[in-house]
Structure 1
Amino acid sequence: MSLVENKRIDVAGINFDREPFIQRTSIEGFLLIRRPQYADGRGAFQEIARIPDISEALGREIVIRQTQRSRSMGHVLRGIHAEPQDKLITPYTGKMVAVIVDLDPKSPTFLSWLMLGFDNTEENCSKTTMFLREGLGNSMCVIGTDPVEYVYGVSKIYDPGTAGEGVRYNDPSLAIPWPISNPVVSNRDRNLPDLVRFLEQKTHG
């Protein structure tokens, strides 16, 4: 299998002050969102996202039914998770990279992936949010020893039957160049299927 595109970008390189608050990426249905932040002597305030704006950008209604918080310690790697749902993810502490993979065979960007750098180590820095449509896989790894926290909303209530869906982070077909060696990976993620097996399972059930 050949990749349509694979590259790394840094969210700090996107000038949301001059460009729209919602930025499309090279992957179909993967958006980057950064609303303005307002700071003064008391602290700072920033909207995370406006769901109607995302719906308008995608041309369909977006519904967030559950929100949760994740905390990952130094050198932890999670993913590649591919639950069948839309996701809205906002990293807000620490330094990490996220890798988004298009795992939808019907998508024009099937098998494309993007690696994005997030640095939220500065106090009161603006936060960037990712929107992933159903069919995209998400993964992340912590850079350094400081923990990373993010909040995320999903379009479906937790379902144990689909919670373990995904592709192994070191799948040779994707050949993602993770920036850390010897990551801390859960047994569940380490035992996820490779890309070929995942696609077979999605096709044949």
Structure 2
Amino acid sequence: MIFTPLSIAGVWRVALSPVSDDRGFFARSFCAAEFAAQGLPAVFEQSSLSRNTRAGTLRGLHYQDAPHAEAKFVRCVRGALMDVVVDLRPGSATRGKWIGERLSADEGTGLYIAPGLAHGFQTLVDDTDMLYQITPAFRPGFGAGVRWNDPAFGIEWPLPNPILSERDAQYPDWSA
């Protein structure tokens, strides 16, 4: 695996290192020792799958409050999406900044997202699945979010008129 830190501290692009032949390829999608060597969690308590049937589906921006703030390792395993991370951490040099990365099943790249960062994505094609590995496991009552189109962030979502859940549509604007 190839680990590349992105412009927000605590966000890493994790690319596959495939071994290919005429049948296709084989690649590790997670290795505890390689994550630990980067100072990242080597144990994830929960895995979850987000299935999205329609292009334009937007999920987020979500995070889990302390003391159960979560790290996530996400990968698109079917279809394609734009993954977005927003830094909400007090004292961070990039607080209020966002980054977006296109993830696709064909490419296989994942993102590691540190605790304290809000996360969301918008599907680019129909039938897109996102696999999450999360630490710690989700704790009811600690889930939170900020509005997907909060002008404080100025996120450039790729598709207009997103398909939103009622919960995601009602998240408040961020208050720095």
Q: TM-score, normalised by structure 1?
A: 0.77
- Counterpart for residue 32 of structure 2: 51
- The Cα shift of 1:171 comes to 0.6
Aligned to 2:121: 140
**Aligned partner (choices 91, 103, 123) of residue 88 of structure 2:** 103
Amino acid at match of 1:170: N
1:71 aligns with 2:51: yes
How many angstroms apart in 2 are the aligned matches of 1:113 and 1:157? 24
- Pick the aligned partner of 1:162 from 124, 142, 161: 142
Matches of 2:20 and 2:63, distance apart in 1: 36
Q: Give the helix-richer structure, 1 or 2.
A: 1
Alpha-carbon separation, structure 1, partners of 2:23 and 2:34: 29
Give the CA deviation at 1:172: 1.2
Q: Give the greater-gyration-radius structure (CA).
A: 1
Number of corresponding residues: 171
Partner residue of 1:193? 172
Counterparts of 1:174-189 in structure 2, within 5 Å, are 174-189=153-168
CA RMSD of aligned residues (A): 1.8
CA shift, 1:43, in A, is 4.2
1:26 alignment partner AA:
S
Runs of 4+ with >6 A deviation: none
Preserved CA contact (<8 Å) 1:52 1:62: yes
CA distance in 2, matches of 1:148, 1:78: 12
Contact 1:34 1:49 in 2 (8 A): no
TM-fit CA distance, 1:128: 0.4
> How many Å apart are 1:38 and its aligned residue?
2.7
Q: How many Å separate the matches in 2 of 1:28 and 1:46? A: 26
The structure with the largest strand share of the pair is 2
Structure 2 distance, partners of 1:176, 1:182, is 14
Q: Alignment identity in percent?
A: 28
